[in-house]
C-alpha cells in the first residue's frame, strides 16, 4: 500500500518523523505555488482606479490596510502574517461580496539596521534594502495574500520620498491659525502681518513667520544619543535610554527641526471620538496628549520688576500656596537667588544637570531642592512666600514653575514635610482625611472663596485673576512638539538649504533631494551628521549649503496609505480623484480597516493623524482622519508561552510551517488560535489540527486510485441535500458571514469544521454542499479551494466556472434554518432538570402545562409549592418552587 510512504525509515530514527519526510496528506506543495503563479500572472487581485479600464463605479469600495513592515534582514516571523491573514480574509470576502477592494502592501525601508549594515560592509544601504524587500516579498507571496502588487511602494524610492519631502514643504510653508483652528498657508499670515505692521523690516517679518511655521527650527534641549550618533524624539527614549539599542541618552541643546504637532493637540483629542478604534488605544493617545485644564497665575517677585508664572489645575487652592518652586533650569532662578544662597543654588543646579532623566524620575523618590533666598507675592492675598528650586518640577511642562500647596498635593506635601515648610489646609473634605487631601471639597481659609465647592471656587478665582491681570484660564498638554531631524544617513534629506545662517525651502522642481553616495557611512563621532562628509553635495553653486539632517523613520509611514491610492502618479502626491474615491465613505476616516500591532498606538498613529489633518486643512485630502477602523492584532508567543526571541530559540518561521503543512494551514492556524486581538502562544499540534481539517476537506472531494493518484471522488454527486444537511449548510453560511464581518475568524473556522464533520461521514456528498463549502472556505484557504474548484469543474462544469475567488459569496435562507420542533429546557429553581421537544411557537400556557407534567419536574417540585413559572418561548421553562 502506498500509505507506507515513510516506512523506509531506518531503525533507531526518532519515532515521530518530521513532516518533510512524512507523506503529505494532500498535494499542497504542488498546487499552492501553481495558484500563486496563476494569480500573479493574471493579476487576479489588481483593482483599477476610477477612470481606468475595468473600473466598475457601481461597486462600493473597501480599503483594507496592513501596517507595512520594515524589511529587516531577519525575514518574517509568524507574528507578521497574523494581521496580514486577517486583512486578506476580509479583502477576499469583500471582493466576493461585490466590493472594489483596495488591499496593498509596501515597505517602510528607511532605518538604522540597513545603515549599520552599510557601515559594516561599505555597501550602499539601498543594496541591502532591496535584498531584504525581495526576501520579504517572496515570503508574503508564499502565503498567498491577495495584494495588488502593482501598487507596491517603498519609502526609500526617490519617486516616493519626493512626496515625503513635498509634504514637509507644505508643513514648512504653513502656520496654524488658532481662529480657524486649522493650518493655513504661511503666505496668508505674511499678508495679514503686512497689513497690521506695514513698516516692519523684512528681517523682522521673516523672523515672525519663522516662529509660526508648522516646521520650524529650534535650539531647545534634545535627546542626544552618542552611541547612535543622533538625536531622538521623546517617544523614542524609554527610561532614559534609546528605544533602539538601549543606549544612554543625554539632554543637550542643539539646533533641530521641529513639527508643531502641539497646535493640533485639541483636534487630535476631539477627533478621536468619531473613530472606530479600540478604547484602549484611544485612551493611550489621550493620555499621551495629556490635556489638562487649569490656570496660570503670576507671582510678582518681591523687589523686582519680573514675575513668575505658574501653572495649576487647582487655582481654588491658591490661598494654600505657602511657597513656590521653580525647575532648576528656570531662567528666573538667577534673578531670584539672593547673594547668600547663590553658591548653594548653583551647586544644586550643577548636581541636577549631572543627573540622567532616569535618576531624576524613577530613582529619586526622596525630594531634593534648595531655597533661593527670594520671595514672591501671592496674587490673591499679597502674601510673601519663599521660592525654592527642586528637580521634581519639570522645566518642560507648563511654565516650569509651580505654586506649592502642600496641604492638597502629595508631592508638595512630601517636600514641605522634608524642608519644614508651612502646610495650610484650604479645602475641607466631605469626610475628614489623614494627611494630604487631593480631592474636591469646600474652600476654607480662602478669603472670598470660603464656602464654595471646588469647581465654583476654581471659576471664581480665575475670574478674579483675570480682572486683576494676574492670571488667566489656560490649558496645558503633555504632548511636545515633534523633534523631526536625525543625524543619520539612511533617511529622507530635507528639501532645505541654508544661506547666511537662514533656512530656505528648495523649490518643488528641485525634488527629490537624493542622499549622496558616501565612501564611509559611519557617524562622525560629533554632532555633525554623516551627510557632512559629502563635501561636494553640500555646497550649491549659488553659495547656499544643504541641510545635513535627515528625517526620522516615521516620516515615510506618515502618509504611505495615501500613496497606495495612485502609486505611479506623477505631478501630485496622490491622484485627487483616486483619493476622493478610496477615502470617501461619509465617515471621518478614509481607510475602512487598518490592522497592526499596539506598539504603534501613540507614535505612528498620532504622527499620521497629524500629517493627515494638515493635508486636509490645506485642501489636499478629503477626510479629517486617515483610519476609520483600527484593530490591533495580539502578539503571538512561542510554544513555551514566552515572547518569541532568538535568544530563547522559540522563534517559529512561517517558511518552515509552509514547507511542512502548506500556506493554507498556516493561514488557518493563525486565525484559529483565538481572537485576533488576544495574545496567544503558538502550537505546532494546533497547526496539525487545522492541517488535518484541510486534509478532510480534500478527501471530501478527492480520492486515490489504485496507483495512488488523486482523482475526483465518486461520492460527490448531484444528489439533493437532506433537510438536516441543508440546515447545516445554511447555518454555516449565516455564522461564517457574521463572524467574518466581526473579524471573529476562530469561530468561523470552528463552524466550517462542524460543516465538514457533517459531510465526512456521509455516503454521498451533494455537489451543492461541496460548492458552498469551497465558497465559504476560500478566503481562509484560497489555494486548496481554488484547486478543488478546478477539479470539480471538470466533472460539474456549470456549477464551478472560473476561479472560486471570483464567485459571489453565498446567501443563507432563513427558511431552511426554521424548525417546527424545538428543544425546551426545563428548570426547577434555575437548575436544569429535563428537556422536552415541542412544536415551535407553542403557547405559553400549553408549554407550562407540558413542563409541569414532566415526571422529573414533578419529582423536584414534590412537597413544594409552585410559586411562579418563568417562560421563555421556544427555549426555557423555569419552575420556581419553595
862-881: contacts with RNA (CB under 7 A): 868, 870, 872, 875-876, 878, 880
For 313-353, strand residue ranges (E) read 323-326
Residue 182 vs 635, nearer CB to RNA: 635
Q: Are strands 866-872 and 876-881 parallel, antiparallel or unpaired?
A: antiparallel
CB of residue 221 to RNA, shortest distance in Å: 14
Q: Which stretch binds RNA (CB under 7 A): 126-134, 416-424, 607-615, 739-747?
A: 739-747
Residue 109 vs 295, nearer CB to RNA: 295
Find the binder of RNA among 400, 441, 523, 654 (CB under 7 A).
Answer: 400
Residue 4 vs 340, nearer CB to RNA: 4
Q: Does 112 bind RNA (CB under 7 A)?
A: no
Dist CA 579 CA 50 (whole Å)? 10
Q: Which stretch binds RNA (CB under 7 A): 78-86, 391-399, 515-523, 809-817?
A: 391-399
Residue 119 vs 731, nearer CB to RNA: 731
CB of residue 841 to RNA, shortest distance in Å: 16
Find the binder of RNA among 61, 314, 458, 503 (CB under 7 A).
Answer: 314
| Residue 629 DSSP symbol | B
Residues numbered 629 to 658 that lie near RNA (CB under 7 A) are none
For 378-467, strand residue ranges (E) read 384-389, 401-404, 427-428, 442-443
Q: Which stretch binds RNA (CB under 7 A): 142-150, 307-315, 650-658, 798-806?
A: 307-315
Residue 497 vs 769, nearer CB to RNA: 769
CB of residue 684 to RNA, shortest distance in Å: 8
Dist CA 81 CA 505 (whole Å)? 41
Q: Which stretch binds RNA (CB under 7 A): 119-127, 532-540, 742-750, 836-844?
A: 742-750
Of how many residues is the chain composed? 882
> In the stretch 209-238, what mask flags binding to RNA with x, by CB under 7 A?
-----------------------------x
CB of residue 832 to RNA, shortest distance in Å: 5
Q: Which stretch binds RNA (CB under 7 A): 81-89, 309-317, 444-452, 455-463?
A: 309-317
C-alpha cell recorded at residue 179: 481662529
Dist CA 99 CA 59 (whole Å)? 5
Dist CA 301 CA 344 (whole Å)? 20
CB of residue 16 to RNA, shortest distance in Å: 8
Find the binder of RNA among 62, 172, 554, 693 (CB under 7 A).
Answer: 693
Find the binder of RNA among 168, 216, 288, 323 (CB under 7 A).
Answer: 288
Q: Does 747 bind RNA (CB under 7 A)?
A: yes
How many residues touch RNA (CB under 7 A)?
88
Q: What's the Rg (C-alpha) of the chain?
A: 34
> In the stretch 360-379, what mask flags binding to RNA with x, by CB under 7 A?
xxx-x--x------------
Dmax over CA atoms of the chain, in Å, equals 107
Residue 392 vs 419, nearer CB to RNA: 392
Query: Residues 783, 92: contact at Cβ < 8 Å?
Result: no
Dist CA 341 CA 318 (whole Å)? 27
Residues numbered 154 to 173 that lie near RNA (CB under 7 A) are none
C-alpha cell recorded at residue 585: 465613505
Query: Residues 822, 872: contact at Cβ < 8 Å?
Result: no
Dist CA 611 CA 437 (whole Å)? 42
Query: Residues 146, 84: contact at Cβ < 8 Å?
Result: no
Residues numbered 237 to 256 that lie near RNA (CB under 7 A) are 238
Query: Residues 629, 276: contact at Cβ < 8 Å?
Result: yes
C-alpha cell recorded at residue 850: 407540558
Query: Residues 461, 314: contact at Cβ < 8 Å?
Result: no
Dist CA 178 CA 617 (whole Å)? 13
Find the binder of RNA among 279, 434, 500, 820 (CB under 7 A).
Answer: 279
CB of residue 418 to RNA, shortest distance in Å: 11
Find the binder of RNA among 760, 813, 844, 853 (CB under 7 A).
Answer: 760
Dist CA 376 CA 392 (whole Å)? 20
Residue in the block written with cell 495650610: 424
Best CA proximity match to 148, nearest among 553, 568, 439: 568
Evaluated on CA atoms 687, 689, 695, 700, the torsion sign reads negative
Q: Which stretch binds RNA (CB under 7 A): 146-154, 518-526, 692-700, 703-711?
A: 692-700
Find the binder of RNA among 284, 712, 838, 852 (CB under 7 A).
Answer: 284
The CA-CA-CA angle for residues 566, 569, 572, to 5°, reads: 105
Q: Which residues does 342 contact at the CB level (< 8 Å), separation at least 6?
A: 373
Find the binder of RNA among 65, 112, 232, 402 (CB under 7 A).
Answer: 402
Secondary structure tally for the chain: helices H, strands E: 29, 40
Find the binder of RNA among 116, 123, 335, 598 (CB under 7 A).
Answer: 598
Residues numbered 662 to 691 that lie near RNA (CB under 7 A) are 672-675, 678-681, 683, 685-686, 688-690
SS3 of residue 506 by DSSP: coil
Q: Which residues does 541 contact at the CB level (< 8 Å), separation at least 6?
A: none
Residue 48 vs 675, nearer CB to RNA: 675
Residue 294 vs 523, nearer CB to RNA: 294
Residues numbered 819 to 848 that lie near RNA (CB under 7 A) are 823, 825, 827, 829-833, 835
CB of residue 205 to RNA, shortest distance in Å: 34
Q: Give me the phi and psi of 590, to 5 degrees please.
A: -90, -40
CB of residue 55 to RNA, shortest distance in Å: 38
CB of residue 409 to RNA, shortest distance in Å: 6
Query: Residues 286, 464: contact at Cβ < 8 Å?
Result: no
Residue 138 vs 475, nearer CB to RNA: 475
CB of residue 829 to RNA, shortest distance in Å: 5
Best CA proximity match to 668, nearest among 655, 679, 657: 657
Residue 85 vs 155, nearer CB to RNA: 85
Residue 188 vs 823, nearer CB to RNA: 823
Best CA proximity match to 775, nearest among 820, 731, 806, 821: 806
Find the binder of RNA among 128, 332, 393, 665 (CB under 7 A).
Answer: 393
Residue 182 vs 881, nearer CB to RNA: 881
CB of residue 585 to RNA, shortest distance in Å: 27
Residue 149 vs 691, nearer CB to RNA: 691
Q: Does 294 bind RNA (CB under 7 A)?
A: yes
Residues numbered 26 to 85 that lie near RNA (CB under 7 A) are none
Residue 462: exposure state from Cβ atoms within 10 A (0-12, 13-18, ≥19) = buried
Dist CA 734 CA 728 (whole Å)? 10
> In the stretch 459-498, what mask flags binding to RNA with x, by CB under 7 A?
-----------------x-x--------------------
CB of residue 435 to RNA, shortest distance in Å: 14
Query: Residues 595, 633: contact at Cβ < 8 Å?
Result: yes
Residues numbered 121 to 150 that lie near RNA (CB under 7 A) are none
SS3 of residue 869 by DSSP: strand
Find the binder of RNA among 761, 798, 814, 855 (CB under 7 A).
Answer: 761
Query: Residues 412, 405: contact at Cβ < 8 Å?
Result: yes
Find the binder of RNA among 329, 409, 664, 786 (CB under 7 A).
Answer: 409
Residue 6 vs 29, nearer CB to RNA: 6
Residue in the block written with cell 523684512: 202
Amino acid at each position: 500500500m502506498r500509505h507506507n510512504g515513510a516506512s523506509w525509515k531506518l531503525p533507531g530514527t526518532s519515532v515521530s518523523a518530521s513532516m518533510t519526510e512524512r507523506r503529505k496528506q494532500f498535494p499542497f506543495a504542488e498546487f499552492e505555488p501553481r495558484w500563486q503563479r496563476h494569480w500573479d500572472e493574471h493579476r487576479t487581485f489588481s483593482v483599477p482606479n476610477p477612470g481606468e479600464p475595468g473600473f466598475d463605479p457601481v461597486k462600493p469600495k473597501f480599503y483594507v490596510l496592513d501596517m507595512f513592515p520594515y524589511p529587516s534582514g531577519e525575514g518574517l516571523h509568524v507574528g507578521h502574517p497574523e494581521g496580514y491573514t486577517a486583512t486578506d480574509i476580509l479583502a477576499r470576502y469583500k471582493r466576493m461580496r461585490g466590493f472594489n477592494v483596495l488591499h496593498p502592501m509596501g515597505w517602510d525601508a528607511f532605518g538604522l539596521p540597513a545603515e549599520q549594515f552599510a557601515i559594516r560592509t561599505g555597501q550602499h544601504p539601498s543594496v541591502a534594502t532591496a535584498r531584504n524587500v525581495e526576501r520579504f516579498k517572496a515570503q508574503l507571496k508564499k502565503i498567498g495574500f491577495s495584494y495588488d502588487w502593482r501598487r507596491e511602494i517603498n519609502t526609500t524610492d526617490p519617486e516616493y520620498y519626493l512626496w515625503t519631502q513635498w509634504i514637509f514643504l507644505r508643513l514648512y510653508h504653513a502656520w496654524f491659525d488658532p481662529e480657524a483652528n486649522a493650518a493655513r498657508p504661511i503666505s496668508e499670515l505674511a499678508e495679514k502681518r503686512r497689513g497690521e505692521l506695514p513698516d516692519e523690516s523684512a528681517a523682522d517679518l521673516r523672523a515672525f513667520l519663522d516662529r509660526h511655521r508648522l516646521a520650524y527650527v529650534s535650539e531647545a534641549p534634545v535627546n542626544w544619543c552618542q552611541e547612535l550618533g543622533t538625536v531622538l524624539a521623546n517617544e523614542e527614549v524609554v527610561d532614559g535610554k534609546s528605544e533602539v539599542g538601549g543606549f544612554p541618552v543625554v539632554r543637550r541643546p542643539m539646533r533641530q527641526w521641529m513639527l508643531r504637532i502641539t497646535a493640533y493637540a485639541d483636534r487630535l483629542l476631539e477627533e478621536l471620538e468619531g473613530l472606530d478604534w479600540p478604547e484602549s488605544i484611544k485612551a493611550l493617545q489621550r493620555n499621551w496628549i495629556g490635556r489638562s485644564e487649569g490656570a496660570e497665575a503670576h507671582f510678582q517677585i518681591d523687589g523686582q520688576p519680573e514675575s513668575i508664572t505658574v501653572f495649576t489645575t487647582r487655582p481654588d487652592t491658591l490661598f494654600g500656596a505657602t511657597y513656590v518652586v521653580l525647575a532648576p533650569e528656570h531662567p528666573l532662578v538667577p534673578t531670584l537667588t539672593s547673594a547668600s544662597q547663590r553658591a548653594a543654588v548653583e551647586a544644586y543646579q550643577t548636581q541636577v544637570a549631572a543627573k540622567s532623566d532616569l535618576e531624576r524620575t524613577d530613582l529619586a523618590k526622596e525630594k531634593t531642592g534648595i531655597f533661593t533666598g527670594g520671595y514672591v507675592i501671592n496674587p490673591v492675598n499679597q502674601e510673601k512666600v519663599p521660592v525654592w528650586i527642586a528637580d521634581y518640577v519639570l522645566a518642560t511642562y507648563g511654565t516650569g514653575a509651580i505654586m506649592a500647596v502642600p496641604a492638597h498635593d502629595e508631592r508638595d506635601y512630601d517636600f514641605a514635610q522634608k524642608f519644614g515648610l508651612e502646610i495650610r489646609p484650604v479645602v475641607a473634605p466631605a469626610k475628614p482625611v489623614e494627611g494630604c487631601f487631593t480631592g474636591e471639597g469646600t474652600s476654607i481659609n480662602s478669603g472670598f472663596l470660603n464656602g464654595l465647592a471646588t469647581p465654583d471656587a476654581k471659576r471664581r478665582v480665575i475670574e478674579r485673576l483675570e480682572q486683576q491681570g494676574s492670571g488667566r484660564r489656560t490649558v496645558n498638554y503633555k504632548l511636545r512638539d515633534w523633534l523631526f531631524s536625525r543625524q543619520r544617513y539612511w533617511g529622507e534629506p530635507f528639501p532645505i538649504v541654508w544661506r547666511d545662517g537662514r533656512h530656505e525651502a528648495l523649490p518643488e522642481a528641485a525634488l527629490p533631494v537624493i542622499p549622496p553616495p558616501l565612501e564611509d557611512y559611519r557617524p562622525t563621532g560629533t554632532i555633525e551628521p554623516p551627510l557632512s562628509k559629502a563635501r561636494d553635495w553640500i555646497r550649491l553653486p549659488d553659495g547656499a549649503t544643504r541641510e545635513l539632517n535627515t528625517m526620522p523613520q516615521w516620516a515615510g509611514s506618515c502618509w504611505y496609505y495615501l500613496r497606495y491610492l495612485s502609486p505611479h502618479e506623477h505631478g501630485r502626491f496622490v491622484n485627487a480623484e483616486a483619493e476622493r474615491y478610496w477615502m470617501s465613505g461619509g465617515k471621518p476616516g478614509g481607510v475602512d480597516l487598518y490592522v497592526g500591532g499596539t506598539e504603534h498606538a501613540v507614535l505612528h498613529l498620532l504622527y499620521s493623524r497629524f500629517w493627515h489633518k494638515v493635508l486636509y486643512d490645506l485642501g489636499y485630502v478629503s477626510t479629517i482622519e486617515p483610519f476609520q477602523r483600527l484593530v490591533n492584532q495580539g502578539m503571538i508567543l512561542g510554544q513555551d508561552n514566552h515572547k518569541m526571541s532568538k535568544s530563547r530559540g522559540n522563534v517559529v518561521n512561517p517558511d518552515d510551517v509552509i514547507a511542512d503543512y502548506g500556506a493554507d494551514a498556516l493561514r488557518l492556524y493563525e486565525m484559529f488560535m483565538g481572537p485576533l486581538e488576544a495574545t496567544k502562544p503558538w502550537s505546532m499540534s494546533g497547526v496539525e489540527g487545522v492541517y488535518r481539517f484541510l486534509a478532510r476537506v480534500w478527501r471530501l472531494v478527492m480520492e486515490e486510485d489504485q496507483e495512488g493518484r488523486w482523482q475526483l471522488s465518486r461520492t460527490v454527486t448531484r444528489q439533493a441535500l437532506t433537510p438536516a444537511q441543508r440546515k447545516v449548510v445554511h447555518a454555516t453560511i449565516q455564522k461564517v458571514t457574521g463572524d467574518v464581518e466581526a473579524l471573529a475568524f476562530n469561530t468561523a473556522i470552528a463552524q466550517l469544521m462542524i460543516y465538514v464533520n457533517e459531510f465526512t461521514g456521509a455516503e454521498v456528498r451533494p455537489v451543492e454542499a461541496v460548492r458552498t463549502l469551497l465558497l465559504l472556505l476560500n478566503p481562509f484557504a484560497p489555494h486548496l479551494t481554488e484547486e478543488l474548484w478546478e477539479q470539480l469543474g471538470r466533472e460539474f462544469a456549470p456549477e464551478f466556472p472560473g476561479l472560486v475567488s471570483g464567485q459571489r459569496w453565498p446567501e443563507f435562507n432563513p427558511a431552511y434554518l426554521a424548525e417546527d420542533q424545538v428543544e425546551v429546557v426545563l428548570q426547577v429553581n434555575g437548575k436544569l432538570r429535563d428537556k422536552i421537544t415541542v412544536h415551535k411557537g407553542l403557547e405559553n400556557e400549553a408549554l407550562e402545562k407540558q413542563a409541569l407534567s414532566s415526571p422529573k419536574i414533578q419529582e423536584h417540585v414534590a412537597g413544594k409549592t409552585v410559586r411562579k413559572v418563568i417562560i421563555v418561548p421556544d427555549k426555557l421553562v423555569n419552575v420556581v418552587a419553595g
